[in-house]
Structure formats: structure tokens, C-alpha cells
Amino acid sequence: MKPRVFMQWPQPQAAATANSSEPAASARQAAGPALAPSMLLARQGLSDRALAWLFVGPTIALLLAFNIFPLLWTIWLSFTNFRANRPNAEVVWLGIDNYRRVLGNEAIWENMRATAHFLVSSIALQLVLGFVLALLLNRRFRSHSFWSTAILLPMMLAPAVVGTFWKYFFEPQYGIFNAIARFLGASGDFTMLGSTQLSPWAIVLVDTWMWTPYVMLLLLAGLKSIPPYLYEAAEIDRASEWTKFWRITLPMVMPFILLALLFRTIENFKMFDLVDQLTNGGPGSVTELASIHLKREAFEKWRTGYASAFAIILFVSIYGLSLVTVRFLDKVKQR
């Protein structure tokens, strides 16, 4: 008995799919693997250097437009008698006369002394208090997360808002500060912002309240970076707590202290909005910092060329202080 032979005819849909897949596969083989955008640009004839400039160029253009050009424009204005409220007036080249007038002005030296007093006092308090808070928060305790967040709240506020708040806080008639002073037994009303002796310390107090958390955050990062085995070795040698602090903690945190000093020096040297809201340079000119005097020369008296020379002098002063701090920081890191 012969076996039956069944003829298997190809299905139409399968044949059509096979026929259609062959051109697609051949097209993919001809096209090759997918290329990244940079490889596509490279295939179009762009070198690696051209690709680098293509991506970095917009950033450099923005840097030149918003940083370098205003600086060069200010340097040029500092040698002229240009006034911003008289743009069509003739601009006369004065040379270094504006710089001589700035350096020979006794009022500016008073402003610089007020700025130095504010800078040294506020930064010293911020470093001491920030270090103490960092040492406390470096130890785990109950509600550690809550206090860590609560301490950082002042630095999250805008300086203008902080200045307005503390201005009402120091108000002699209905301010909370006088109510607390009377509760503690003080007689009379304190005029913190109206006194020539107390108003500079009021600005120092407000700035310390606002920016101590920032210093604490930097120093806390430094404490967290100290290897634990250093303290373990010190405990084996039966070192005292003071020896651990003086020989381990302080040297290891010193680079972070210098960073905090550098950042706060730059910011306090150009402090404007906080002081402007609190005292506006008063009473008299006791709290008139260099930035307040610069604003008055540029936007109240409209002596743009003179103010530009003063701005360049401030820029050079800040740059010099920063350079000294960075050099000292490099020496500390090399030890």
C-alpha cells in the first residue's frame, strides 16, 4: 500500500511577509547601524575641534555678552566724564582723574572703614557660630533632621525680605525687640536703627542671623569628610577631646573654613540690598557701605564715569583679597 503524499502549498500571507521582509532587511544592511548625532556631524566633514566649538560656542557667547563686555565697558567709562542721564552729551576722556578723585575723597575712605568693620565683625561671628552649630549637628540626636532643616531657613529668604522683616522688628514704637528688652528689665526705648553706635551692630546681627547657616553647611560637610579611623587611632593613644579637636578636627576642616571665609568676604564686600532695606546708609553715613555710596553716585548723582572708577577699585580690592585667600588655601591643602 503506497503512502499518501500531501502537497503543501505556501500560504499567500506568509509569502507576502517573506517577500516584504527581504527588501527591508537589505535596506537595513545597506544603511548600516544607527549613528549618534555627533557621528553624523563627523561624517558630514566636521572635526572634533569644530564639534567642541559647536557645543561650547553658545555658552562662551553668553559669557562674553553678560560678563566680559559689561566689565570692559565699565573700564572704558571709568576714564571718561560720561553721565547716564545725559547720553547725548559729549564724552570727554579724563584719563585717571576719576581714580584720583575717588582715592582722594575722604568720604569714600569712611565708607571703606564702615565696610571693613561690617565685614570683619559679621564674618568672625558667622565662622564661630557656624562651627559650633556644625559640631552640634555632626552628632546624631533626637529630632536631628528637624533642627538641621530649621537652622537653614534664614538663608532661604531673600535679603530684601529679611531687611524689611528686621526693620519692623527693630521699630522703637511697636517692634518686638523693644518689647523683649523691656521684659528683660531695660528702661526706655531702644533705637537700634537710629543710633549711631547701635545701627552698625544691628546690620552685623541681621547678616549673622541670615548667613550663619550657610557657613554651618560648609563646615558640616568638612566634618563629615574626616575619616573615622583618625579618631579611633587617637582614642587608642588616649588623646583628650581637646587634643582631638586641635590635632584632627581643626586641621581637617581648615580648607572648608577658608572656603567659607572666601565666599562670605566676597558677598559681604558687595552687600547692598540688606543694608539698603534696614538703614539706607543712615543714620548720617554710619552704615553707608561702599556699595551704598556706589549706588548713590551712579543712580542719584548720575556721575557714571566717577562711579565706574569706584566700581573698578572695589573689583580690584575684592580680587586681591580672594587671590590671597586662594593662595593660603593652596598652602593648607599641600600640608
More confident residue, 133 or 140: 133
Contacts of residue 330, Cβ cutoff 8 Å, sequence gap at least 6:
none
> Which set of grid coordinates corresponds to residue 307?
562711579
80 phi and psi, to 5 degrees?
A: -130, 175
Phi-psi domain of 158 (left: phi exceeds 0; alpha: psi -120 through 50; beta: other): beta
- The pLDDT tens digits of the residues spanning 284-307 come to 889 999 999 999 999 999 999 999
pLDDT value of position 27:
47
Is the distance from CB of 189 to CB of 244 less than 8 angstroms?
no
- The pLDDT tens digits of the residues spanning 234-271 come to 999 898 989 999 999 999 999 999 999 999 999 998 88
pLDDT value of position 130:
95
Is the distance from CB of 173 to CB of 189 less than 8 angstroms?
yes
- The pLDDT tens digits of the residues spanning 305-333 come to 999 999 999 999 999 988 998 888 888 87
More confident residue, 172 or 83: 83
CA–CA gap between residue 222 and residue 134 (Å, rounded): 9
Grid look-up 502549498 returns 9
Q: What is the pTM (predicted TM-score) of this model? A: 0.79
Least confident residue range of 5-19, 118-132, 143-157, 242-256 = 5-19
Is the distance from CB of 117 to CB of 207 less than 8 angstroms?
no
Share of the chain above pLDDT 90, in %: 50
- The pLDDT tens digits of the residues spanning 75-121 come to 999 999 999 999 888 999 999 999 999 999 999 999 999 999 999 99
pLDDT value of position 35:
52
> Which set of grid coordinates corresponds to residue 152?
537653614
CA distances from 215 to 135, 210, 272, 286, 305 (A): 12, 10, 20, 27, 37
- Confidence band for 40, pLDDT divided at 50, 70 and 90: low
> Which set of grid coordinates corresponds to residue 75?
573700564
CA–CA gap between residue 81 and residue 93 (Å, rounded): 7
